[in-house]
Every structure is written in C-alpha cells, then in structure tokens.
Structure 1
Amino acid sequence: MEFKKSISNPPQEQIIDLKIYWKLLIKSKWKILGFAVFTTLLTAVFVAGMQPVYRATTSLLLESDQNKTVSIDTVYSLDTSRKEYFLTQYEILKSRIITEQVIDKLGLAYQPEFLPSDEPSLFSDVKSYIKSFLPIAEKNNEIIDEFDGRRDKVALINTIQSRIEIEPIRKTQLVNISFEAHDPKLAAMVANEIADTFITQGMASQLNSTKKAASWLQDRLEELRLNLENSIDLLQKYRVKENLIDIESKGVRSIASNELESLTQSYLDAKQKRFEAETIALFVSRVEDNDIESLLSLPEISNHESVRAIKRVEIEAEKRYSELSFRYGKKHPKLIAAKAELAAVQKNLQQQVDKLVTGIGKDLSAAKDNERRFQRNLNKEKSKFQVITNKEQNYLKLSHEVESNRNLYDAFLERFKEMNITTDLETQKAQVVDPAEVPISPVKPKKTLLVLIAFAVSFIFAIILTFILNALNDSFRSAAEVESKLGIRLLGLVPLLHLKRKKGLPLYAFFDDAYRTFSEAIRTLRTGFVLSHLDDDHKVVVVTSSVPAEGKTTTAINIAFAMAQMEKTLLIEADMRRPSFTRVFSLDPYQSGLSNVISGAETLNDSIIHDEMSGLDILSAGFIPPNPLELLSSQKFATLLMKLKEEYDHIIIDSPPSLAVSDALVLSKSADSVIYVVRSESTKEATAKAGISRLVEVEVRIDGVVLNRVNIKKLKKNMDYAGYYDSYDYNHKNSR
C-alpha cells in the first residue's frame, strides 16, 4: 500500500530548507533577544564591579653569559649565539628567589592589594567545624605558626609570579618585564624592582663566583708550585746520579749514535768483503788441476798488477816466437831461445797465479776474522747505546714533567693575577634600557568589549540552543511536519482552545458561537473526509490514536456531530477498556451499550440513545467486559455492524489507542477507513509511526491524520497556515 511504503521507506536525503530555520528564528526572536539582553545586563553588572588592572613594563638588555674562569676576555666578550643562556635568564627573571627578594624589598606582604581577607569564607567555616569533631592530635604551636607563615609567603610568591610576564623581543637581546596590579604606582614599582633585583643578583652572583675562583686558584697555585719544585729536584738528582752532563744538547747520545752507526757500516763492509772472498774461494776450489785459463777468468787474478805485467811479457814473447818461426827453422838457435823465453814467462805466470790463489784463501780467513771482530764491537756498542737511551728516556720523562708543571703553574699564575685585577670590577649581565612608567589607563578589564562579547556570545548561544531544542523536539507542530515525517496527508487541524483551569471543553462546543473557530475546524475536517469518498460507499470509519490523551474521543464525538448535521449518523464507543461516554454525555451508569448488544444481554434499540441537541445516535460501551478483544473479533459484532450499515449513512467508531491494545486493529479491519489523531507538540514521531505501522501491517485504509490541539497563534507567527482560520474570524466579526 501507499501508506506502508511511505512509512517503511522514509526519504534517505533531507533537503535543508533555510526558510524553516529562518521561521524558527523569527518565532523565537524575543526569547533569543531576551536571553542575550539578560546575560549582557548580568555581565555589565559584574564587569562594573571589577577593579581596573594596570600594567607597567620595563625593558631590559640581556648580555650573554660571562661567568667563565679561563681568560680575561670574559669581561668584554658577548656571546649572542647561546639561545639556552637567554632562555635561562628568562626563567631566572620569573624565579621564586627574585620574586621573594622583590616582596621583601617593597614590603608587598603589607600592601592592601595582597593582604588576605579577614572575613572567613564558608569553606573555611565548614572545614573548621568538621575538624572540631575529628580526633586530630595537637601539634606544636610554634611549628604550626612557622609553617603557616611560610605557607602564606609561598602563596604570596605564587600570586606575584602569576602577575609577572616576561616577553622577549624577537631578534634582539631585549626583554620586556611586565607586572599587573590594581595600583598603577605599585605596578611600575614592582616592574622596575624586578629588573633591579635581577641585575643586582647577577652582579653579586658573578662577584661571588669570581671570589670563589680566586680563592680556589690561590690554593691550587701553591699546590702547583710545590709540584714544580719537586719535579725540578727529581730531575737534577737523576742527572747527577747518572752523570748526564750533555743530555739536553744530545751530545752523549749523538756520540753513541755516531759510533753505533760507524760500527754498523764497518760491520756491513766486512760482511760484504767476506761474502766476496767466499765467492772467489768457492770458484777457485771448483777449478780442476789449477787450470790457469780458468783461474785467469777471475777478475781478482786477471786484474792483478803482476799478472797483467807477466801477461804483457808473455804476449811479446809469443809475438817474437811467432815471427822467428816464419823466418827460421825449428832447430835454429834464435827460435830455440825465443821458445825458451816464452816457456820461462808462462812458468812465471803459473807461479804468480798460484801465489794469488794462495792469497785468496788467506784473504777469506782475514775477512772472516774482521767480520767477527766488527760484530763483537757492534754488539757492545748496541748495549751501551741502549743504556744511554734508557737514561735519556727517564731524563726526558722527568724533564717533561717539569715542563708540564711549569706551564700549568704559569697559566694559573697568569689567571690568578687577572682575577686579582677583575675582582673589584663589577660587570653587569643586564641593564635597564627603558624603566617602567606609572601607567595611565588600565589594560583590563575592557568593559565595553566584554559587554559586547557577552552579548554576541549569549546571542549566538541562544540561537544554537534554539536550534538544538528544535532538533530534539520530534513532535508534530504543523501540517508540513505531519506530511513530511509520516508520509500521510493531513486531513485537518483542530485548534487549541484556552480554557479555564480544571474546566474541560463543553460537550456541545461545536454548536456554540463562542467556539466558532473550533466548529469551523471540525466542519473543514468533515468536508475533507466527505470529499475523499464521493465515489464509494463509505460508511464506517474508526477514529484512533497512538496513545491515550491525544484527543481521540473528543475528535470522534465532534466529527459525529458534524456528520449528523448532514446525514443519519451513529457514534459507537468501542473503547470498552476505558469507556468515557457515560461521563461525557451524562448517561445512566448502568446504561446498556455495545458489549450488552454483542453478548445478547440487551437489544440494539434499547441500547442506542438519541441526542436531541445534535440529532446524533449514540451506542456507548456498556458494561466493561473481561474480554473486549474477543467480543470485537466475534461474528456477532460483524453481523451487528452489517445491520447498522443498513440503517445509518455514517458510523463513527471511537477506538482504543493502536499501541495500547490490539482492539484498534480488529476494528480497523471491520471498518472502511481510519482517521488517525495526533496531538500537536506532544505525540512523538516514533510513537506515531509505530501506531500507524501497526495499522498498515493489517492493510487498512487511513484517510489521513488529524493534528489536534494546534496553537494557531504560534502557527501564524511561524507563518505556517497563516490565515487558515482568518476567514472564519472575519465572517464572525462581520456577523457581529
């Protein structure tokens, strides 16, 4: 069905209509404005009673850290690269020790602004009262007094610190020291005193550090002097003991080194000669039968002066012999003489070579002896040089210790002299650039600004609160909300009537000109209902709601009154669990009704009552049965309803609420349609949807929704259905 689809599948996307929010603001404008004005007035009263606060500012130039004990340059140097130093100075400016000194110097503890209130607070009274019942041991009054005094001092320090503001100026070494107080003179005085105290403390700290350093240097200098003297004595004793006269000029060590070097070279030369002699001797020993030709191949033999001389003689003898052998025969005396001469020369050469071979053996022995001699001397010289080197190392060690002690002593002595010079030189780590002046105007509170902010914030808060309350309110206040939330058309509106307290709506208000607006609303409802059923035989209609007290019975009665003015109409009270017709129509308490007719205890004609004023026939609930649902579900009720359709043009059934019991579902199945009543600004969206869903599940027809108890004035202000009843008021005024 169409209604079932609209309820089970609500729109997924909701279009934000700004007109709705604008109407809501227009509707609540006086509430919003009133809240804003009230809040602003309270803020103005509060601000008017606030004491003005003045701020005084001192500009201070911070120099870099100068507390060094290494060089005299610290008096003049300025290190601007240490950000940590400046951050440290900022924290020192806000430190407790600076604040406490300022409090003591200026006597801030006795300033009226910082004196504790003499009037006991409610919290202190309650605390004292509770303590009086607790078994707390008594403490020493002197300790308590001392603790309380220090606690008050600490509290005052915290208060002063909370009013101090340290603000560095970027990319400079300047810092602003600000202090806030109710007294402008006091603000300037404290700001200047903070700067002066910081400078004085810095100078005192630096001077104290210098004096401590000087005292430490003096003690250390005496210790270093003794160390230097002891090291000099040890060096001198060692020099005398080891007879080291020329050790500093390296004379002894250089002589020993030269001797060692010379012996080493001689040893190497002897070794080389021995190696060469061994080589020659080895070659000679391998020559067979002292072959003279092989021996003469040795340079040591062939290059010998005597051998060379004999070789020249031999060559001349061989030349002469060769010449004579061409000229004379073998037996010629000259040839024989030449041959004898040549033989004598060769023999002499052989003898000379033999001598040289013998000399080679002797040279080898001499070379070996010479090598051994140089090696012994070299070993002795190495041992001697090692001893000298060890002595020199010990001497240099003592000498270096003397030199180190002397350099350290000289450095400390120089620093001690500098410290004596700079002890009385007071160097400031900071200086006041711009002292604080007595402020003329307060910095806070900015009363006008606070009032304007209070108005703006309260105004915005009221708007937001209005939107939130409107969003949280899921009731129905207009026709548009009924149709958009439930997806069912609005059949009509029933206005809210302002009645006297404890006085209900008169039964026949529909016929009373004093309630003309109400009457016209019922007639409009009747017209909409009739026009929706022109083409079908539509007689039985059930009037129900979600929960009790939504105006279901009143709506059913007045719709029946309106229908009775046109056609024959019967009003049936089917709410047999909580019947009300007996009270409303002033009937006999034992008047028979629907339950009596269905059970067969009474006849239909005896149970129907005719109302002369309205021309309406009424069938009340009758006695309260133990099983109303079974009676309404019975065939007798269906037969009764069919019989009544033949006699009446319209049958209006007042049904129990759909969520309370299942009677409404049974009645709706027997009826042609249903009119659903929703109370304005009371019935929740979820409740109405749940009740309608139950009806949709049994597939009954819902003609529409009646929005009951609608505040017409609010609707007119909200421009919803503006003029909906204006025509009725206009006609009513004209008739008068």
Structure 2
Amino acid sequence: MNSVTRLEDLGAAVARSGGPASEVDIGQLLRTLWRRRWVILSITGLSLVAAYFILSQVTPIYTATTRVMIESRRSRVLDGRELISGMEPFNMAVMSEVEVIRSRNIAKRVADKLDLYNDKQFNPALMPNEGSRVLGTLSALIGEVSQLFATPGPQIDEATRLQRQRDAVVDKVLGSLSVEPVQLSLVIRVSMQSPDPVMAARLANAYADACVEEQLESKFDTVRHISTWLNGRLDSLRTAVVESERAVAAYRSANGLVDTSQRGQSMNQQQLSELSSQLVMAQSKRAETEARLSRVEGALMSGHTEGALDDMLDSPLVQHLKEEQATLARTVTELKARYGERHPDMVKAKSELAQIDRQLTAEIQSLVKTLRNDFAVQKQREASLSAQIRSAEGSVLTQSKAEIRLHELERDAQANRVLYESFLSKFKESGEQEQFQQADTRVIAQAEVPRSPSYPRRPMVLTAATVLGLLGGVALVLLLEQLDRTVRTRDQLEELVGLPTFALIPQIKSGTGETAVQSYIMDHPSSSYAEAFRMAWVGLQQGLGDQGSVVVVTSSVPEEGKSLTSLSLARVVSTLGLRVIVIDADLRRASLAAKAGVQSQYTFPDVIAGRVTVDEAIINDPLSPADIMISRPGGHKDVNLLASSDRVAEILNGLRSRYDLVVVDSPPALAMADVQVLSRMADKTVFCVRWDQTPRETVLSALRVLRDAKAKMAGLLLTRVDISKHSRYGYHDVGYYYARYRNYYSE
C-alpha cells in the first residue's frame, strides 16, 4: 500500500469523516441506544418529574355529565286533540333543544336555584385580594396611570353594578357548560366543569332540571294564553246563539208555523223523513255490501286469498284461523331452519298448516255466498223505498216551501250552537291540560360526583411525558453520537485515513502501581496485551527491508501511550531473537527511563552533542534482551539538538547497521517539530491513536504534518483500548470477541 498516495487528500478524509453514513445499521443503532441507555432513562425520568411537577401545580377540573332525552311519543292524558303539538324526533328538533339548553335563560335558572351569585367560585367580586403587596402596589400604580390617560365614562349606579355581577356569574356558568347531542339518538349530554366535584354534579343535575322546568312553564303559559282567548270568544258566541234562536221563534210566530221540535211533524213529513232515512241507510248499506262483494270476488278470481281475508276479518272464525295460520307459518319457518324439510315435527307442522288453509278457504266460500244473498235483499229493499218516497214527496212539497226559510234560520241557530259547544269543549280541555302538561324532555341519567378529574388527564400526560422523554433521550443519544468525533474501531480509523491499523492495544488495568503496568508485557507474555504487539510487529514487518530498520513511534497529542507502546514493541520484538534498541527522542518529556525502570549517566542528547559515544549511552533493559537509550527528563536545554539533522542521521544509520530494529519514541506530531526531522530519517513511522479520546480532526491534522514532512507511514495503532467497553459497542472486531478468545491468553 502506498501510504503517501493514501495521504494526499486529507481534506477529503476530514469531509468524509463528518458526513452521514450511506446506510443505516439497525443493529449498530440499537447497540448505541443500549450503550447510552442511562442517558435515555435520565431524560425520561426528568421528563416524568417535570410532568408530575406541572400536574401538581395545575388545578384539577372535574366534569359531571347528565343525560336528557327528547320524548318522541308523549302520553295523552286527555282523549281530545292536544292544543300544543309535541316535538318531532328529528335532527332539527335535537339541535334546537341543544340551543335552548345553551341559552342564558337556563343558565339564569341554574344560578338562581343554586344561589351562585353568593359563590366565590362564580362571583369574582367575592374573592378576597390574596395577591402579594408588590403585585398589589404595581396593580394600583398601573390603575392610576391608566386613569390619567383614560376618558372618563358615565357613572355606574349600584343596581347596574349588581346586574353586571349577575351577568358575569351567568357568563361563567355558560363557560362551564358543554352540550353535545349523541349521534343517531334523541339523547343530549349536558356536562358541567368545576374544581369541586360535588359542585360539578350539582350544576349538571340543576341544568337538567332547569331544562324540564323551562319547557313546563312555557307550555303552561301557552295553555293559559289559549284559555284566556277562548273565554273571550265564548262570550261573543253565546250572544250569537241567543240572537239566532230568537229569530227562529219570531219567524214561526209571524208565519203560523208549528214548532215541530215540540209537537212533532206531520204524518207526511214524518213518513217522508223516515223513508228518506231508510233509503239513505239502505243505499249506504247496499253500496258497502256491493263494494265488499266486488273486492272479495276480485281477490278470489285472481287467487289472492289474502285480499279476501282482509274483508272477512270481522268474522271471529276467520280471525281465529288467520292467527293459527300465522303461528303455524312461523313454526314451519323455525323448524325448517333448525331441522330441515324431512323432520317429523316439520312434516306435522306442514300438515297442520295445510289443514288450516283448507278450513280458511271453506269459511271464505261460505261468507261469500252469504254476502251475495245480502246484496240481493238490500237491492230489492232500496227499490221499494224509492217508490214509497216518490209518493210521499208530493204531499209535503207545499209544506216544505213554507218551511224553507224556517229551516234556514234553524240551521243558522244550530250552527251557532255547535260552534259555541265546540269552543266550550276546547275551553274545558285547556283547563284540564293546564293540570296535566308534560315536558318534551326527561332526565334519563342523573349526574354522579366524578371520582377523577377530567383535566388534566394524568395518565395521558404522564404517558406523553414518558414517550417524549424516550424520544428526547434517543435524539440526545444520536446527537451525542454525531458529536462524538473520537475513534473506537480499526475500521473507523482505516476509513478515516486510508492506512492500515496493525492492532488494538488493550488498556492495562492494575492495582499494583505504575511499575506493574510497565512490566506487564514481560510478566504476562501470553496476555492479550503482548499478543497485540506481536500482531503489530507482523503488520509492521511487511513494510520493512531485510536490513536493520528505523521505526519512529509518534502520536497527535500527549497521553496517547506512544512511549509505553515504543517500549512494549521493542521488548516483544527482542523476545523473538532480534536485536532491538529503543531510543527516547522526546527531549522535553522524556519518560522511557521511568517506564523501563533504568537509570544512566549518559543520554541520547549527550550522544547528539558529541559528549559521549553511542556505546556509552546504550544500557540494557533489565526485563528483556532489548537495549535502551534514554533522555533526561525535563531536558529543555537540549531542544535544539534535533535540528542537527546530519548528526542525528549519522547516529541512526550507525544503529541501523548494528540492530535489526531501532524504535524511536518521538514527541507528538502536533506539539513539536522534532517528529518531522525524525520521520524523514526513519524507514517507517507508526502513528498511535488513543481509543475513544483523540478527535478525528486531530488525527488528520497530525497526519497532515507527517505528510508535509514526507514521512513514510507504515500504519497505525489504536492504543489504550478499554476491552470491556469496546465489546459492548458491538463492532465485531477482535475487541468484540475478546471474551471468546480469553482462554488463549493468560492475563
């Protein structure tokens, strides 16, 4: 892999590192949420606490509901026609009743009945001023200022002020009211809201009672008005009856006519009257019989016995047979659905039904025959009566001419009398209906005291707070993931910079102090920590030549483990039988001597300055076959020595010929310019990145410095990896499967 080519466009790498992923890994997303579950739970808990606090500050509102129904059929106490028609059960009537319930008249009734004018809940004028002194002073000041600029209005007297208070109470009652018709029914829900559950129930029940009382009083007023009008009309009708009867009596006296109502009519008149009556009755009966006979015969001829039965239903036997026929027909239908056609009960029921049909047919034939005989007799009687009337008409003609005027007067008198009696009957009915009026609505469900508030709805609010908290927690976790610019996996690091990552170096956790940490790799040669450096050496070895090689180990910033990495790499490679030396080239913060547990009078800066030879500065590692060349801690006076690149190159070339591997622990790339000098002289440069700490932009900036210095990049190491946390991230690399391979290591 050409490392220089892969580092040519680090700006593009920065842009690529900050862009969104092309695909969404659901598994990785779920693992991310689980890893930061405490953030989600904390946000959810805070949301619930906030919701509970808000709910505790909100005054609960209770809603009580009563139901009233519009009567579609009202019971009739009187046999006569009602003076006021009832409400029709259709949508217009329901909506009209809803508007009546919402009217101010009903609200005033409720306020009067419950004396809400003296209730602090509905009359703000009765509420004591419980505000703070500061708020009271501020309110008074605002009032004074507003009065300076306000136009003086008319003075309000006490009666007007009280009326406005009463109107305000009514407005508040209407504001607490909710009227809703139930769909596809004649039922209306009347609901009232109040902070007091008992008051809410009282208001709802009072509203329902006020609706019924309003309707009853309205009907009483209407009936009373009609009764008053009828009483006045009866006086004029009574006068008209008296005058018409006096006119009849005067005409009789003037024309010498006998009052037939007292002494009776003449024989001819009586005979003609009786014959006429008999003829009318005979004609009516004959026409009725003829029409009935025609319908029955027509129904029988067309085969529709049902039509014939309708005219025969006055016969008790036909009615009885018809009822039995209907009963058996229902039985046959039920048996057919239950048992089928061949069941014995089904056969028996069909036989009984056929027997009834035969009896019904025979009875119809008998009734038809009787009907025909009656029609013939009635026709003959009608002809006889007509002949008798013609003979009697001549004798009464003369008398009739004289009585024409009399009859006219009598008819007028009779009409006045009938009209008077009709109005008198209506007047009596109105008086009786005034006592038996019924409302068009009735209460079908009384409001009960609500057990729980309708506002706020605590379960709903808490559920919503939980959902919002979870969503907020998830959003925060995703935001934190987006803002997290560190590196945790080999794939992330390789995708970021385009260089191979040799190994993941585990974080050493020890409770015995720093000395145990530095010597861990030699104390535990079969540990995962030692195996990680062997993997790093295998990867690094592929880019080195057969002769001795100089490898610079650096990082972006301090505390990324590059010094321990340099020492550990040298120790592991030396145990493989190779000649290795590690040089502490970090002249400002030299730490290799402390980590290796060695001391020396001569240091690497002394060699560069020419004060000592290379052999005098080399010391042996007490724990491995590797050699060490240390620097003096705090050697700020030697910072310019590396600028003598020729001398440093001479030293490194001499060591390259003596050792198989020369490991140079250099300063961080972003902190010092020394690494640029050392990387140009080295065969390869290994770059350390601290796991979950070093930002990606910092890594890219340091690599850009190395690119400008023409460094030959070998690869990268991901250092100080927390294996236990790394495995929970689910990256499916060596860190994720560490627990499965634990038996291969001896920690």
| TM-score normalised over the length of structure 2 | 0.51
> Partner of 2:678 in structure 1?
667
Kept in 2: contact 1:7–1:487 (CA 8 A): no
> Partner of 2:301 in structure 1?
none
Give distance in 1, aligned partners of 2:612 and 2:631. 12
Partner SS state of residue 635, structure 2: coil
Taking structure 1 as reference, are residues 713 and 467 closer, same or farther at Cα in structure 2, changes over 3 Å only? same
Please list, as runs of the form range in 1=range in 2, the aligned pairs for 1:199-598 lying within 5 A after superposition. Answer: 437-438=447-448, 442=452, 444=454, 455-500=466-511, 503=514, 506-513=517-524, 516-530=527-541, 532-533=542-543, 537=547, 539-565=549-575, 566-588=577-599, 591-598=601-608
Matched, 1:14 2:25: no
Kept in 2: contact 1:93–1:194 (CA 8 A): no
Shift of 1:442: 4.0
Kept in 2: contact 1:496–1:708 (CA 8 A): yes
What is the number of equivalent residue pairs in this alignment? 487
> Partner of 2:662 in structure 1?
651
Kept in 1: contact 2:111–2:117 (CA 8 A): no
- For 1:7, give the aligned amino acid: L
Partner SS state of residue 720, structure 2: strand
> Partner of 1:620 in structure 2?
630
1:335-383, Cα deviation, whole Å (9 max, x unpaired)? xxxxxxxxxxxxxxxxxxxxxxxxxxxxxxxxxxxxxxxxxxxxxxxxx
Give distance in 2, aligned partners of 1:683 and 1:40. 33
Q: 2:706 aligns with which of 664, 673, 695?
A: 695
Give distance in 1, aligned partners of 2:115 and 2:708. 87
Partner SS state of residue 642, structure 2: helix
Partner SS state of residue 717, structure 1: helix
Greater mean alpha carbon deviation, residues 87-96 or residues 712-721: 87-96
Matched, 1:57 2:61: no
Kept in 2: contact 1:610–1:617 (CA 8 A): yes
Matched, 1:609 2:619: yes
- For 2:191, give the aligned amino acid: S
Partner SS state of residue 527, structure 2: helix
Kept in 2: contact 1:26–1:718 (CA 8 A): no
1:169-196, Cα deviation, whole Å (9 max, x unpaired)? 8999998552234654422212344678
Q: 1:2 aligns with which of 2, 5, 18?
A: 5
1:509-555, Cα deviation, whole Å (9 max, x unpaired)? 1111398222222222222222x236554611111111111111111
Taking structure 1 as reference, are residues 534 and 659 closer, same or farther at Cα in structure 2, changes over 3 Å only? closer
Taking structure 1 as reference, are residues 442 and 546 closer, same or farther at Cα in structure 2, changes over 3 Å only? same
Shift of 1:197: 8.0
Give distance in 1, aligned partners of 2:729 and 2:571. 32
Shift of 1:559: 0.9
Taking structure 1 as reference, are residues 200 and 476 closer, same or farther at Cα in structure 2, changes over 3 Å only? farther
Give distance in 1, aligned partners of 2:168 and 2:561. 67
Q: Unpaired runs of 5+ in structure 1?
A: 63-75, 140-151, 205-429
Taking structure 1 as reference, are residues 546 and 158 closer, same or farther at Cα in structure 2, changes over 3 Å only? farther
Taking structure 1 as reference, are residues 99 and 491 closer, same or farther at Cα in structure 2, changes over 3 Å only? farther
Partner SS state of residue 506, structure 1: helix
Give distance in 2, aligned partners of 1:157 and 1:569. 99
Shift of 1:492: 0.6
Kept in 2: contact 1:675–1:705 (CA 8 A): yes
Give distance in 2, aligned partners of 1:133 and 1:183. 32
Greater mean alpha carbon deviation, residues 622-631 or residues 47-56: 47-56
> Partner of 2:733 in structure 1?
721
Kept in 2: contact 1:94–1:166 (CA 8 A): no
> Partner of 2:204 in structure 1?
191
Q: Unpaired runs of 5+ in structure 2?
A: 71-85, 144-164, 218-439
Give distance in 2, aligned partners of 1:156 and 1:564. 97
Partner SS state of residue 658, structure 1: coil
- For 1:641, give the aligned amino acid: L
Taking structure 1 as reference, are residues 201 and 725 closer, same or farther at Cα in structure 2, changes over 3 Å only? same
> Partner of 1:24 in structure 2?
31
Give distance in 2, aligned partners of 1:644 and 1:98. 110
Matched, 1:678 2:689: yes
Kept in 2: contact 1:570–1:652 (CA 8 A): yes
Taking structure 1 as reference, are residues 449 and 133 closer, same or farther at Cα in structure 2, changes over 3 Å only? closer
Taking structure 1 as reference, are residues 676 and 432 closer, same or farther at Cα in structure 2, changes over 3 Å only? farther
Partner SS state of residue 57, structure 1: strand
Taking structure 1 as reference, are residues 54 and 678 closer, same or farther at Cα in structure 2, changes over 3 Å only? same
Taking structure 1 as reference, are residues 160 and 133 closer, same or farther at Cα in structure 2, changes over 3 Å only? closer
Partner SS state of residue 518, structure 2: coil
- For 1:178, give the aligned amino acid: S
Shift of 1:605: 2.1
Partner SS state of residue 470, structure 1: helix
Taking structure 1 as reference, are residues 717 and 13 closer, same or farther at Cα in structure 2, changes over 3 Å only? closer
Kept in 1: contact 2:564–2:592 (CA 8 A): no
- For 1:14, give the aligned amino acid: A
Give distance in 2, aligned partners of 1:490 and 1:154. 83
- For 1:517, give the aligned amino acid: S
Give distance in 2, aligned partners of 1:103 and 1:664. 93
Give distance in 1, aligned partners of 2:509 and 2:30. 24
Kept in 2: contact 1:39–1:455 (CA 8 A): no
Taking structure 1 as reference, are residues 189 and 523 closer, same or farther at Cα in structure 2, changes over 3 Å only? same
CA RMSD of aligned residues (A): 5.9
Partner SS state of residue 713, structure 1: helix
Taking structure 1 as reference, are residues 725 and 437 closer, same or farther at Cα in structure 2, changes over 3 Å only? closer
Shift of 1:706: 1.0
Kept in 2: contact 1:56–1:187 (CA 8 A): yes
Give distance in 2, aligned partners of 1:630 and 1:93. 100
Structure with larger Rg: 1
Partner SS state of residue 540, structure 2: helix
1:646-698, Cα deviation, whole Å (9 max, x unpaired)? 12211111111111222222211111111111111111111111111221233
1:437-469, Cα deviation, whole Å (9 max, x unpaired)? 225664647666666555544444443333222
- Percent identity, please: 23
Shift of 1:603: 2.4
Shift of 1:568: 1.2
Give distance in 2, aligned partners of 1:94 and 1:521. 90
Taking structure 1 as reference, are residues 625 and 713 closer, same or farther at Cα in structure 2, changes over 3 Å only? closer
Taking structure 1 as reference, are residues 435 and 627 closer, same or farther at Cα in structure 2, changes over 3 Å only? same
Shift of 1:100: 8.1
Give distance in 1, aligned partners of 2:615 and 2:710. 33
Taking structure 1 as reference, are residues 183 and 538 closer, same or farther at Cα in structure 2, changes over 3 Å only? farther
> Partner of 2:392 in structure 1?
none
Q: 1:109 aligns with which of 111, 120, 125?
A: 120
Kept in 1: contact 2:40–2:472 (CA 8 A): no
Shift of 1:473: 1.4
Taking structure 1 as reference, are residues 175 and 732 closer, same or farther at Cα in structure 2, changes over 3 Å only? same
> Partner of 1:178 in structure 2?
191
Partner SS state of residue 190, structure 1: helix
Give distance in 2, aligned partners of 1:689 and 1:45. 48
Partner SS state of residue 9, structure 1: helix
Give distance in 1, aligned partners of 2:109 and 2:606. 100
